[in-house]
Structure 1
Amino acid sequence: MTGIIAPARTIERPAHRDGNVLRWLGAYTASMIGDSVYFMALAWAATRTGSAAQTGLVLALGSLPRAVLMLGGGVLADRFGPRRLVIGSDAARSLVVLGLAGALLFTSPALWMLIVVALVFGAVDALFLPAVGALPPRISVPGQLARIQGLRGLAARAANVVGAPLGGAAIALGGPRLGFAAAGVLFALSLPLLIAVRIRPLQEESGPEPEDAASRPPATVWQELADGLRHIRRNRLLGALLLVVAISELGFVGPLNLGLILLAEQRGWGASGMGWIVAGFGTGAGAAALLLAVRGRVPRAGLVGCLMVVIASVAIGALAFAPSVAMATATGVLVGLFAGLAGSLCAALIQTAAEPAYLGRVTSVSTFFTNAVSPLSYPVTGAAVAAWGTGPVFVASAALCAAGGVTGLAVTVLRRAELPD
Structure 2
Amino acid sequence: MREILGDLGLFRDGRFALLFSARTLSMLGTAFAPVALAFGVLGLPGATATTLSVVLTAESLPMVLFMLFAGVLADRFPRQRVMMAGEWANALAFFGLAAMLLSGWTPLWALATAAACSGVAIAVLYPALTGIIPEVVPPDRLQAGNALLGLGANVARMAGAVAGGATVVLVGGGWALAVSGGLFAVAGVLISLVRPTPLVAATPLVAATPLVAATPLVAATPLVAARQERRSVLKDLREGWREFSSRQWIWVVVAQFSILVMAVQAGHGVLGPLLAKESLGGPAAWSAFLAGEAIGTIAGVMVSLRVRPRRPILVGTLLCLPSALPYFLLGSGAPLWVTVAGAFVLGVCFDVFGVLWTTTMQREVPPESLSRVSSYDALGSLMFGPVGLMLAGPAAALMGVHNALLACGGLVVLSTCAALLSPGVRGLRAPARVEAVSA
- Pairwise CA distance, 1:13: 8.1
Q: Deviations over 1:235-282 (max 9, x none)?
A: 233333333333332333321332211221232421111111111111
- The whole-number CA distance in structure 2 between the counterparts of 1:19 and 1:297 is 26
Cα 1:96–1:12 shift into 2, 3 Å: closer
Cα distance in structure 2, aligned partners of 1:16 and 1:303? 30
Residues of 2 paired with 1:272 and 1:260: CA distance?
A: 13
Q: Is 1:263–1:390's contact at 8 Å kept on the other side of the alignment?
A: yes
Partner of 2:75: 78
Do the aligned residues in 2 keep the contact of 1:204 with 1:357 (CA within 8 Å)? yes
| Structure 2 counterpart of 1:199 | 196
Distance 2:383 2:403 in 1: 25
User: Where do residues 360-371 of structure 1 align in structure 2 (5 Å cutoff)?
Assistant: 360-371=371-382
Question: What amino acid is aligned across from residue 404 of structure 2 in structure 1?
Answer: V
Alpha-carbon deviation of 1:139? 1.3
**Counterpart secondary structure, 2:172:** helix
Q: How does 1:321-332 map to 2 (within 5 A)?
A: 321-332=332-343
Contact 1:63–1:372, Cα closer than 8 Å, also in 2:
no
Distance 2:428 2:102 in 1: 55
8 Å CA contact 2:255, 2:381 repeated in 1 = no
What letter corresponds to residue 164 of structure 2 in structure 1? G
Matched, 1:30 2:42: no
Q: How does 1:22-421 map to 2 (within 5 A)?
A: 22-49=17-44, 50-204=47-201, 208-209=217-218, 218-293=230-305, 295=306, 297-420=308-431, 421=433
Residue 3 of structure 1 corresponds to none
Cα distance, 1:106–1:52 mapped onto 2, change above 3 Å: closer
Per the alignment, do residues 419 and 72 of structure 1 end up closer, same or farther by CA in structure 2, a change over 3 Å counting? same
Q: How many residues of Structure 1 are paired with residues of Structure 2 in the alignment? A: 408
Is the Cα–Cα contact under 8 Å of residues 282 and 333 in structure 1 kept in the other structure?
Answer: yes
Is the Cα–Cα contact under 8 Å of residues 94 and 187 in structure 1 kept in the other structure? yes
In structure 2, do the counterparts of structure 1 residues 402 and 142 end up closer, same or farther at CA, with 3 Å as the change threshold? Answer: farther
The CA distance in 2 between the partners of 1:316 and 1:103, in whole Å, is: 40
Change (3 A) 1:134 1:349: same
The residue aligned with 1:4 is none
* Post-superposition offset of 1:36: 2.1
SS of 1:204's equivalent?
coil
Deviation track 1:189-223 (CA, whole Å, cap 9, x = no partner) reads 11232122231322317874489x99x98322122
Query: What SS does structure 1 have at the residue aligned with 2:271?
Result: helix
Q: Mind listing any 5+ residue stretches in structure 1 that lack a counterpart? A: 1-10
Give the secondary structure class of the aligned counterpart of 1:298: coil
Deviations along 1:25-84, one digit per CA (max 9) or x if unpaired, are: 110110111122233222222112211211111111211111111111111111113221
Residue number in structure 1 paired with 2:16: 21
2:213: which partner in 1?
none
Q: Which residue of 1 aligns with 2:206?
A: none
Return the alpha-carbon distance in structure 2 between the equivalents of residues 86 and 372 of structure 1.
23
Please tell me whether the aligned partners of residues 408 and 415 of structure 1 are also in contact (alpha carbons under 8 angstroms): no
SS in 1 for 2:403: helix
Aligned identity (percent) is 27
| Alignment RMSD (CA, Å) | 2.7
Quick one: structure 1 residues 268 and 246, their matched pair in 2 at CA, closer, same or farther if it must change by over 3 Å? Answer: closer
1:388 Cα deviation after fit: 0.6
**Code of the aligned partner of 1:167:** G
Q: Which deviates more, 165-174 or 318-327?
A: 165-174
Question: Runs ≥4 in structure 1, deviation > 6 angstroms?
Answer: none
Q: How many Å separate the matches in 1 of 2:58 and 2:37?
A: 12
TM-score between both structures, scaled by the size of structure 2 = 0.85
Equivalent-residue separation in structure 1 for 2:143 and 2:275 (angstroms):
34
- TM-score, structure 1 normalization: 0.88
Report the more deviating stretch, 225-234 or 335-344: 335-344
Residues 71 and 128 of structure 2 are in contact (CA less than 8 Å); yes or no, is this contact kept in structure 1? yes
Conservation of the 8 A alpha-carbon contact between 1:149 and 1:289: no
Aligned residue for 1:419, secondary structure, equals coil
Distance 1:264 1:166 in 2: 23
Structure 2 letter corresponding to 1:47: L
Q: Residues of 2 paired with 1:315 and 1:180: CA distance?
A: 33
CA contact (8 A) 2:262 2:389 kept: no
Taking a change above 3 Å as real, the CA distance of residues 382 and 86 of structure 1, as seen in their structure-2 partners, is same
C-alpha distance 317-14 of structure 1, shift in aligned 2 (>3 A): farther
The one-letter code of the counterpart of 1:63 is S
**Counterparts of 2:381 and 2:392 in 1: how far apart (Å)?**
16
Q: Which runs of 5+ in 2 are unaligned?
A: 1-5, 204-215, 434-439
